Structure 1
Amino acid sequence: MQKVSVIIPCYNQASFLSEAIQSIIDQTHGNWECIIVNDGSPDETESVAQTWCSKDSRIKYIYQKNQGLSSARNFGIQNTESNFILTLDADDKYDPTFIEKGLKILNENQKVGVVSSWILRFKGGDEICVIKPNGKIIEDFMFQNASNGTSLFRKKCWLDVGGYDEKMKTGYEDWDFYIGVCTLGWNVHVIPEVLFFYRQHDFSMRLDAYANHDKNIKMYMYSKHKELYLNHYEEMVTYFLNTIDLEKRNNIKVKNKIDYKIGFLLLKPFRKLKSLFR
C-alpha cells in the first residue's frame, strides 16, 4: 500500500487543529504519515500537536520560526518519506475517502500530477456553498485558480516546480504552484464530489489577498510566468478585454438603478455649492 505524507502547516489555528488531524485519522487509506508544521505560532499549536503525537506514531511535529505558508509547506515536504503529498490547512478537513480516491486516479493516469475535489464552504455549523472547480490543463489556470488550494500530488511535481514560492507571502501560492505543475505537462484532476471542507472565517489569508493584494500578486505571477502568457497572447488579450467590458456593463447597471439616480439628484445641489468654492 502506497504511503502518503500529509502536511499540516499551523499558525494561530490550534483550536481547529484536532479536527483537521482527525479527518486524516479517519481516512480509509491507512498508510500515511502526518507532519504538523508549527510556523512559529504563538498559540497552543505545540501542545495540541504533541498530544496527538503521543496517541499515534504516524503523527509527527516540527517547528520553524514564522516564515509563511509556502515556507511551512516546503519545510514539511522536505521531511517526508513518501512519493505522494497531501496538503491540508489546520482549520480545514477532508472526507474519509479522499486519499483512497485520489491515489486511485494518480495510479491510473500518469499525466495527472495533482488531485483535488469539489469544496464545501462552511462556517460554524452552517453550510455556505459548494464550489466546483474544473481543474484540467494550463489554459484553465492562466487567469484563475481552477482547483482547491490544498490537494494530493506527486512529490515529483513539487521537486520539478521547485516547491511553493516562498516569496509569495500574501496569498495565491497554491495557484502559482498549479501553474508551474501544468506548465511542465501534468494535468490537475478534480474529483466531482464534495470531499473537502473549507472553514470560512470573517478574516482569512484568502480574503485579505483578494481585497488588498490581488493586483500586486498577479503582477508578480504574470512577470514570473511571462513566457507562458506571451505564448498565449491572444487568450490574454481576450481575457483582459472581456474583463474591461464586464466592468463597463456592471457600471452601467449601477447607474441605471433607481437608488443611484435618486442619490445623484439629491447630491446635485451640493455639487453646485462645492463648485462655487473652487
Structure 2
Amino acid sequence: MPPKIHVIAVAFEKFDYLKIFVQSWINQTKDNWILTVIHDGSNEEFNLIMERYKEECPTRIQYLSSEKRFNDYGHSLRDMGLKNIQGEYVLLTNADNYFVPKTIEFINEVFIEHQPEVVIFDMIHSHNRPGGRNLPAYSYFETKLERRSIDISSAIVKASLAEKVGFRDKTHDGDASYFEDIMKLKFPDGLSFAKIPRVLFVHN
C-alpha cells in the first residue's frame, strides 16, 4: 500500500486560484491523499467554496481558518498544520498553485522500490530570476535539496521529521530553513531522499 500523503495548503483570498488548486487534487489519478486548506483569518467566501468541495470529497478534504490574520507568508499556518499531520508524509503548499493530475501516481512509483524520507520534484516557477537563475517567469525550474533551489511545494517529507522541526522561521526564507532544519535533524547519518525528474506543479 502506498503511504497516505497529507497536503497542507495555506490560503488568503485569491478564490479563483483556490478553486483550480483544489480541483487539481480531485483530479489526481491516485487517491492516497488528503487535503487541508487553512485560510489566513476568517472569510465567509472561503468557507462557502471549501464546503462544496468537502461535500464532494468528505473523507479527503477539510478546511479551517485561523482566528486572526498572521500575514507572514503563510508560515504560521504551516506550523499549525504540521502539528496535526494525518498521513505518513506531508506536502506543504500554497492554495494558488496547481498540481498535475499524476502527481500522486508518480510519487507512488518511488515507494515501489524504497521509502525515502524526502521526495523532491521539479516545477514551473512564476518568479523572474527564481533562485537567482537567469530565467524569466514561468520557466522550468530544476530543484535540488538546497537553499535557493527548492520551493516548499516541490517536496514531500516524512511526517515524523516534519512534526519534529515544525516551521520556526516566519521570514521570507522560511521555506529554505524548513528543509535545512530537516537535514540537520538527520545529521550526521544523512537524509534519504529521492528525486522525480518531472515537473509536477506550477508555482503561481
TM-score range, shorter chain: 0.7 to 0.9
Matched AA of 2:107: G
- State the 1:12 CA deviation: 2.5
1:72: Cα distance to partner?
A: 0.8
Code of the residue aligned with 2:148 in structure 1: it is: N
**Matched residues in 1 for 2:139 and 2:92: separation?**
22
Q: TM-score, normalised to structure 1's length?
A: 0.60
Q: Mapping of 1:113-124 within 5 angstroms?
A: 113-122=117-126
Q: CA deviation at 1:35?
A: 0.8
Letter in 2 for 1:120: I
Take 2:124 and 2:56, find their aligned partners in 1: how far apart are those partners? 29
Shift of residue 182, structure 1, vs aligned partner: 1.6
- Cα pair distance change 1:42/1:81, threshold 3 Å: closer
**Does the CA contact (< 8 Å) of 2:120 and 2:143 recur in 1?**
no
Measure how far apart 1:22 and its partner are. 0.9
> Which residue is 2:130 aligned to?
none
2:14 aligns to what? 13
Deviation at 1:41, TM superposition (A): 5.3
State the identity as a percent.
Answer: 24
Query: Is the 8 Å Cα contact of residues 9 and 38 (structure 1) preserved in structure 2?
Result: yes
- 2:10 matches 1:3: no
Matched, 1:131 2:141: yes
Instruction: Give the superposition deviation at 1:174.
Output: 1.4
What's the counterpart of residue 147 of structure 1? 150
Check whether the contact 1:39–1:66 (CA below 8 A) recurs between aligned residues.
yes
Partners of 1:145 and 1:187 lie apart in 2 by 20
Q: Which residue of 1 aligns with 2:98?
A: 93
| Alpha-carbon separation, structure 2, partners of 1:23 and 1:77 | 22
| Aligned residue type for 1:128 | Y
Read off the aligned partner of 1:121 and give its amino acid letter: H
Q: Distance in 2 between matches of 1:5 and 1:149?
A: 14
Aligned Cα root-mean-square deviation (Å): 2.3
Structure-2 separation of matches of 1:66 and 1:102: 33
Query: Between Structure 1 and Structure 2, how many residues are aligned?
Result: 185
Q: Who is 2:133 aligned against?
A: none
Distance 1:77 1:106 in 2: 22
Counterpart in the other structure of 1:22: 23
**Which stretches in structure 2 are left out of the alignment for 5+ residues?**
128-136
Quick one: distance in 1 between partners of 2:126 and 2:99? 13
Superposition deviation, residue 25 in structure 1: 1.0
Map of 1:56 onto structure 2 = 57
- Whichever residue aligns with residue 85 of structure 1, its letter is V
Cα distance change on mapping 1:73 and 1:63 into 2, 3 Å: same
Indicate the structure with greater helix content. Answer: 1
Residue 147 to residue 121, structure 1, CA distance change in 2 (3 Å): closer
Q: Which amino acid counterpart does residue 61 of structure 2 have in structure 1?
A: I
Pick from 186, 195, 198 the counterpart of residue 190 of structure 1.
195
SS in 1 for 2:140: strand
Structure 1 unaligned segments of length 5 or more: list them.
136-140, 200-278
Tell me the distance in 1 between the aligned counterparts of 2:160 and 2:148.
Answer: 21
Is the alpha carbon distance of 1:190 and 1:44 closer, same or farther for their aligned partners in structure 2, counting shifts above 3 Å?
A: farther
Report the structure number with the largest CA radius of gyration: 1
The structure 1 segments of at least 4 consecutive aligned residues displaced by more than 3 Å after TM superposition are 106-110, 187-190
Matched, 1:157 2:158: no
Counting only pairs closer than 5 Å after superposition, residues 208-219 of structure 1 correspond to structure 2 as: none
**Aligned letter for 1:164?**
F
Higher relative CO (Cα under 8 Å, sequence separation at least 6) belongs to: 2
Local SS of the residue matching 2:34: strand
2:203 is paired with a residue of what secondary structure? strand
Query: Whole-Å Cα distance in 1 between the matches of residues 197 and 178 of structure 2?
Result: 21
Question: Normalization by structure 2: what TM-score?
Answer: 0.79
Report SS of the residue matched to 1:88.
Answer: strand
TM-superposed CA distance for 1:24, in Å, is 0.9
Counterpart in the other structure of 1:79: 84
Distance 1:180 1:108 in 2: 26
